[in-house]
Structure 1
Amino acid sequence: MATTKAQAPVADSRRWVALFFIGLAQLMIVLDGTVVNIALPSLQRDLGISDGDRQWVITGYTLAFGSLLLLGGRIADWTGRKRTFLIGLFGFAGASALGGAADTFDMLLIARVLQGGFAALLGPSALSLLTVTFTEPKERAKAFGIWGGISAAAGAIGLLAGGALTDYLDWRWCLYISVPISLIAAVGGYAMLTESRSAGRARFDVLGVLLVTSGLVAIVYGTSRAESDGWGSTPVIGLLAAGAVLLAVFVLVESRVPQPLLPLRLIANRTRGGAYLGAGLAIVGMFGAFLFMTYYLQVIKGYSPIRTGVAFLPMTLAVLVSAGGFTTLLLPKVAPRVLIVPGMLLVSSGMLWFLTMETDTGYVEGVLVAGLLLGLGAGMILPVAFNYATHGVDPDDAGIASAGVNTAQQIGGSIGTALLNTIATSATADYLASHASRGGNPALAKKAMLQGFETAGIWAAVIILTGALITTFLMNTPRPDANNSSMTGSEPGSELLSEASPRG
């Protein structure tokens, strides 16, 4: 097997500075998935976007990101992780500038897709750089706790930033803001990071890229079409079936090509499989909550964008306390499912909290409680998922393993947002149709919108609870101290506690 060519490990005094710039890039990636959420009502009016199409402003980004991540991971492994990191940053800056200048929905959508494409280079290269920089168990746990906290908190920070920018400047600045962040991260990354890459000739799995990308696009587009055409319509059934077939063929191809886009051994590992599942479902809950809470606060409660952003601050603090506090302390000491499964239960509880909310429910007993549950849960899931999804992999596969967990996140966000938005808008339309005799009035419209959010919240909770049940039995990884060698990284090619019997 080819060996990894890398410079000497980053000096102690530089590792944490390097982490700052890597974390800044990750902050921007996740932030851009949510920063436009609060601006959605404003840009929807400005650009004349329909309710059914509004989710594409978010999904266009997450879908391009998620469907190209595996290719981005392989590019990082074979052409250099630092080089790919820098290219991703400069490309992201250009796409963000284009989006900020957009004057039509089509132009904005193109910019969001380009942002997602460059993020697909940036995300796995950033995480793989983190993976090869921190190998000592305690330092690694701390670094991944910080990373997970950034990943989870960045979504809520994006909402706060989006509110401030929309209120005091314009929704376009929700896109422009990424330009200076990208440039700062690029300058710091160039100075502080060392290059690493896999040796050997790169052979890109073009067929795999086409299959996985087209399959995911078909599923997400089919889900979004269900809002207008109905779940039983021929176009929707055809798109969903085509997506499933394309993904099945992708798995078959990956099992046979010499250098697969996604080596099946990575996801066949029960630990990594559980980590991918946890990361994906956490984002389903978070992105669904961001979308629904934004419209609940602005449309139903009449909050301004900046007030809406401030309303999400407790969720951000909950993530930081959870991910940077007790999760970091427990990560090197307990089995991963001891943290991931309770985290999923908290996230699902946050989604179910919508059932207690009415149009006149106060902030404290409504959005605040839901946000705290979601934040605490996400902070328990994401640091663990990132750590166990990448630890112990062969150095040649560091980029693709990093891409795998990022893919789970972004596809969870894409499919989750499309699915939940479709469920919510359909339930809203059904409620209005069943109460047509009462005539149209603002109170009825608000009640109908809330009904849609509640219905989607139930579906989200069921999906996440099902994931928690699967993770309980799938991720049978013992406590780290049951097999110290697997947590030290001293055996680069070793599997991560893959099939050991459970102890925690």
Structure 2
Amino acid sequence: MRTQRWTLVVVCAATAMLMLDIAVVNTALSKIAGDLHTGLHGLQWVVDAYTLALASTVLTAGALADRFGRRRLFTIGLALFTVASVLCAAAGDIAFLNSARALQGIGGAIMFAVSLALLANAFPDMKERAGALAAYGATIGASFAVGPLVGGALTSGLGWRWIFLVNVPLGVACLAITRARVAESRDRFARRVDVGGLVTLTAGLFLLILALLRGNEDGWGSAIIVAELAGAGAFLAAFLAIEAQIAEPMLPLRLFRNGAFTGAQVGAFAISASFFAVFFYITLYLQQILGLSAIEAGLVYLPGTVIMFFVSGATSAMGERVSGRAMVSVGLVLVGIGMALMTLAQVDSSWAIGLPGSIVAMIGTGLFNPAVSGFALGSVPERQSGLAAGVNDTFRQAGIAVGVAALGALIPAGAALGQGDPAAYVSGMHDALWVCAVLCFAGAIACWRLLRAPLGAPAAAGHLMADAA
């Protein structure tokens, strides 16, 4: 029992730390831009260097954890993340910061990929696991939402470098707990490292994000953007071809014949590419258009964050009366409605204009996160929980990276940095919010159709995994 509690504590603490580092930088972007003398392109990479590195390596990290030991990989990820945080705080220019953020993302990938697998091993009983996943889901949503407040407080009080330095004592504490209290586990039938899949997936995602980031600046029909998009398509197609042909793929494509498994990935991508990605631009709106300080911008998210935390915690008890399928689908619908309500924001609006939309979206996130994690774990045999967690986290982080870059094509973000008309920024933000809302509604429909298997019933997935092996 003590091992279970300590595992839940360290997993939630580590997850909070890495999710905060996705969101916490948002309120510090203006200060970073001034201190490091960079523009919008450099600022986007502060977010995307982290999420892209995380997205492109998390699947491999999950497979390695199943093979070499989940506690061992978790420890390596914690150490790498902590060291990279020190490097981020020491950055003297934007290139160094973004490089350190990429290293931080690799450490985060290992932590993220192993987190759910550690919980699955520590909580084999499905009822107890539901409670652990509720806490885990609440941690993800609350950390991402409260990130701007934490970032604002640290940036306003101590300086932006402290948003990275605060990770150091947390990382050291998590390392000590992991070594002393967390049990080791692995898959006795783990697959070999899929080098071809790793290389093609990483290259494909990198070129795709790079093209999306540079499209507005270089022109969507320019030779370099067309070449990057074509290269991304070629590498991603090669990745699928490799996974379909080799004996031990990093991503067994037969898994996607299981509707519950596929639905978990569709839902994770939908919420990440929309709600989590648009945070970047909403925070710029609050600070640069409405003139809020870093800490004031963070406080705007606080009411919704508190409500979401309690909603996530309640999902464990709700699971006996409400299906996971309903929680995922209804959660996405509420997130979509929330973002539609945020389009009421104007250049001269009060800060409170976004509260109704934020609260509705946070309620939806509170319902969604624990339920989708349950589907991700319950749709494969427990021995391959690292692989399942890695796949789900890949779709989450790829969604954030693609979303931040793609929404930048709709929003003239330079206007928020004094390089254009604020009204144009707000108009572009409205377009982006509507696109995000539609994506959530489409994701809700897809999840309702796909998530037909009972939550926690891995039988169908077990047959598929046996076939894939």
**Residue 330 (structure 2) aligns with:** 342
* 8 Å Cα contact 1:137-1:332 kept in structure 2: no
Q: From 321, 331, 343, give the equivalent of 2:319.
A: 331
**Residue 213 (structure 1) aligns with:** 202
**Residue 454 (structure 1) aligns with:** 430
* 8 Å Cα contact 1:293-1:367 kept in structure 2: no
* 8 Å Cα contact 1:95-1:114 kept in structure 2: yes
> Match for 1:329: what amino acid?
A
Aligned to 2:41, the other structure's residue is in SS state coil
Measured at CA, do residues 350 and 250 of structure 1 come closer, stay the same or move farther in structure 2, by a change above 3 Å? Answer: same
User: C-alpha offsets along residues 138-159 of structure 1, whole Å, 9 cap, x if unaligned?
Assistant: 1111110110010111111221
Instruction: Provide TM-score, normalisation by structure 1.
Output: 0.87
**Residue 453 (structure 2) aligns with:** 477
Give 1:241 shift. 2.6
Q: State how 1:413-424 maps to structure 2 within 5 Å.
A: 413-424=400-411
**Residue 440 (structure 2) aligns with:** 464
> Match for 2:5: what amino acid?
W
Measured at CA, do residues 332 and 392 of structure 1 come closer, stay the same or move farther in structure 2, by a change above 3 Å? Answer: farther
> Match for 1:404: what amino acid?
V
Separation in 1, partners of 2:169, 2:200: 35
* 8 Å Cα contact 1:165-1:171 kept in structure 2: yes
Aligned to 1:53, the other structure's residue is in SS state helix
Separation in 2, partners of 1:239, 1:334: 45
**Residue 502 (structure 1) aligns with:** none
Moved more, 124-133 or 59-68: 124-133
Where do 5+ consecutive residues of structure 2 fail to align?
none
User: Is 1:445 aligned with 2:421?
Assistant: yes
Aligned to 1:194, the other structure's residue is in SS state coil
* 8 Å Cα contact 2:142-2:309 kept in structure 1: yes
Moved more, 348-357 or 442-451: 442-451
User: Is 1:322 aligned with 2:308?
Assistant: no
Give 1:348 shift. 1.4
Give 1:72 shift. 0.5
* 8 Å Cα contact 1:163-1:307 kept in structure 2: yes
> Match for 2:450: what amino acid?
L
**Residue 399 (structure 1) aligns with:** 386
Give 1:59 shift. 0.7
> Match for 1:227: what amino acid?
N
> Match for 1:450: what amino acid?
V
**Residue 376 (structure 1) aligns with:** 363
Q: How many residues of Structure 1 are paired with residues of Structure 2 in the alignment? A: 465
Measured at CA, do residues 14 and 424 of structure 1 come closer, stay the same or move farther in structure 2, by a change above 3 Å? Answer: same
Instruction: Provide TM-score, normalisation by structure 2.
Output: 0.94
Separation in 2, partners of 1:463, 1:413: 13
Moved more, 446-455 or 215-224: 446-455
**Residue 410 (structure 1) aligns with:** 397
Separation in 1, partners of 2:290, 2:461: 53
Aligned to 1:144, the other structure's residue is in SS state helix
Separation in 1, partners of 2:266, 2:418: 40
Give 1:97 shift. 0.3
Aligned to 2:186, the other structure's residue is in SS state strand
Aligned to 2:421, the other structure's residue is in SS state helix
Q: State how 1:203-282 maps to structure 2 within 5 Å.
A: 203-282=192-271
Separation in 2, partners of 1:444, 1:283: 28
User: Is 1:388 aligned with 2:375?
Assistant: yes
Separation in 2, partners of 1:14, 1:74: 24
Aligned to 2:43, the other structure's residue is in SS state coil
Give 1:444 shift. 7.7
**Residue 31 (structure 1) aligns with:** 20
Alpha-carbon RMSD: 2.3
User: C-alpha offsets along residues 420-444 of structure 1, whole Å, 9 cap, x if unaligned?
Assistant: 1221127x77xx9xxxxxxxx9898
* 8 Å Cα contact 1:289-1:351 kept in structure 2: no
**Residue 280 (structure 2) aligns with:** 291
User: C-alpha offsets along residues 209-257 of structure 1, whole Å, 9 cap, x if unaligned?
Assistant: 0011001111111111112123333322332232122112211211221
Moved more, 395-404 or 73-82: 395-404
**Residue 129 (structure 2) aligns with:** 140
Runs of 4+ in 1 over 6 A off after TM superposition: 441-444, 489-492
* 8 Å Cα contact 1:395-1:493 kept in structure 2: no
Separation in 2, partners of 1:102, 1:444: 29
> Match for 1:389: what amino acid?
A
Give 1:491 shift. 11
Measured at CA, do residues 261 and 350 of structure 1 come closer, stay the same or move farther in structure 2, by a change above 3 Å? Answer: same
Give percent identity, aligned residues only. Answer: 33
> Bigger radius of gyration, 1 or 2?
1
Aligned to 2:250, the other structure's residue is in SS state coil
Separation in 2, partners of 1:83, 1:492: 27
**Residue 353 (structure 1) aligns with:** 341
Measured at CA, do residues 16 and 491 of structure 1 come closer, stay the same or move farther in structure 2, by a change above 3 Å? Answer: farther
* 8 Å Cα contact 1:141-1:328 kept in structure 2: yes
> Match for 2:384: what amino acid?
D
- Which structure shows the higher helix fraction? 2
> Match for 1:449: what amino acid?
Y
